Amino acid sequence: MIEQFFSLVEQFDTIAIYRHINADCDALGSQFGMKTWIQEKYPHKKVYALGKSLGSSAKLFPAIDEVEDEELISSLAIVLDTPNSKRIDDERWKLAKYKIKIDHHVFVETFADLEFVEETAGATCEIVAKIFQQHNEQLPPVCARYLYSGIISDTLQFSIPTTSYQTMQVASYLLSFGIDIASVNREHFSRSYKEFQYEAYLQQHVTFQDGVAYIKVGEEDYKQFGLTLKEAKEKVYALGSVHEFEIWALFVENPENEQGEILYNGSLRSQRVTINDIANQYHGGGHRLACGVRGLTSQEVDQLIHDLQERIKSELTV
């Protein structure tokens, strides 16, 4: 499969790289890592990084490309960090003559001609870097930096269960291209004073019951700290690293809904209890221990919390 991947990249003169909506650092790191590598190795090729829906990590990466539909007809599409076709952030991937998928989420569907799916990998950037490593590729330093950024972001600096021997081996490979570790960590994990205040607000107002720590945040609550909806929702990690919290969840009001009622988007995290199947029942999904949900009423949030509490009771011995 790896040789087929490199053969396809050589074969196509136009390559478009896609990723999921609400792009995080792993999505953007794998997207721009891939683009940078192709441009460096094949400067004559047309390479586009596409998608409009961005999270707060976008400021750490180059601007998204603009391209006409005609350019994408008969292109090679590389779709990264996306388990199902509905979440691809540009429907023009369908115009491609051939499609490749590289992903580390729980498998949802097959939509590409060639697929690399490793559910146990810490990040899609890890899989991309492993493909390069196994082919003995010499990476441009900026490419290695983008891929390393995605790995440390999705594994929370190598601190969650998906971190493996392979993760560390691949990270070591990337570091061989001269990454400044301290600089990358500052870039991705330092925060503004407003963000610091918001995280303190979450910790002060969290509710903890039957193993689940959770908080509902209204639009006015997060806007007082100068944060957008996406930025506010990404701060779920502020509730982590507490021994007693088996599951922690952050629900943020979405003012962009068109239904005329208060709806919440949420981020869920778990120390060891499986939660992705529960998230699937609430307009969401993701990894076994890290998921998102969307468009929930306050009552649905309460029911979700109850379901998470029941899961803890059924899976863990008190």
Average pLDDT over the chain, rounded to an integer:
92
| Cα 33 to Cα 43, 100, 129, 162, 285, distances in angstroms | 15, 16, 9, 21, 25
Alpha-carbon gap, residue 123 to 157, rounded angstroms: 12
Phi, psi for 109 (deg, rounded to 5): -160, 160
Percentage of the chain exceeding pLDDT 90: 75
Alpha-carbon gap, residue 77 to 244, rounded angstroms: 44
Write out pLDDT tens, residues 195-228: 999 999 999 999 999 999 999 999 999 999 999 8
Three-state DSSP at 185 gives helix
Place of tokens 């998906």: 162
Q: What is the pLDDT of residue 187?
A: 87
**Which residues touch 113 (CB under 8 Å, ≥6 apart)?**
98, 99, 100
Alpha-carbon gap, residue 43 to 47, rounded angstroms: 9
Contact 248, 212 (CB under 8 A): yes
Percentage of the chain exceeding pLDDT 70: 98
Element (H, E) at 294: strand 290-296
Give the β-pairing of 14-19 and 114-117.
Answer: unpaired
Alpha-carbon gap, residue 38 to 46, rounded angstroms: 9
Q: Which residue has the higher pLDDT, 106 or 274?
A: 274
| Cα 257 to Cα 261, 295, 301, distances in angstroms | 8, 8, 16
pTM, full prediction: 0.85
Burial of residue 46 (number of CB atoms within 10 Å: 0-12, 13-18, 19+): middle
DSSP 228-241: -HHHHHGGGGGG-S
Alpha-carbon gap, residue 187 to 209, rounded angstroms: 35
Q: What is the pLDDT of residue 258?
A: 67
Task: Give which of 122, 100, 125 is closest to 1, Cα–Cα.
Answer: 100
Three-state DSSP at 137 gives coil
The amino acid at 103:
D
Q: What is the pLDDT of residue 119?
A: 92
Confidence grade of residue 108 (pLDDT, cut at 50, 70, 90)? confident
Phi, psi for 216 (deg, rounded to 5): -100, 130
Alpha-carbon gap, residue 69 to 197, rounded angstroms: 44
| Cα 171 to Cα 125, 149, 152, 175, 293, distances in angstroms | 10, 10, 9, 6, 30
Place of tokens 């997207």: 31
Write out pLDDT tens, residues 153-203: 999 888 888 899 999 999 999 999 999 999 999 988 888 999 999 999 999
Task: Give which of 281, 288, 234 is closest to 24, Cα–Cα.
Answer: 234
Domain range annotation of the chain: 2-189, 193-315
Q: What is the pLDDT of residue 144?
A: 97
The amino acid at 287:
H
* Answer CATH for 193-315 from 2.60.40.10, 3.90.1580.10, 3.20.20.140, 3.10.310.30: 3.10.310.30
Element (H, E) at 14: strand 14-19
**Which residues touch 261 (CB under 8 Å, ≥6 apart)?**
297
Element (H, E) at 314: helix 298-315
Task: Give which of 73, 67, 69 is closest to 97, Cα–Cα.
Answer: 73
* Answer CATH for 2-189 from 3.90.1640.10, 1.10.3720.10, 3.20.20.450, 3.10.180.10: 3.90.1640.10
Token duo for residue 112: 């590409």
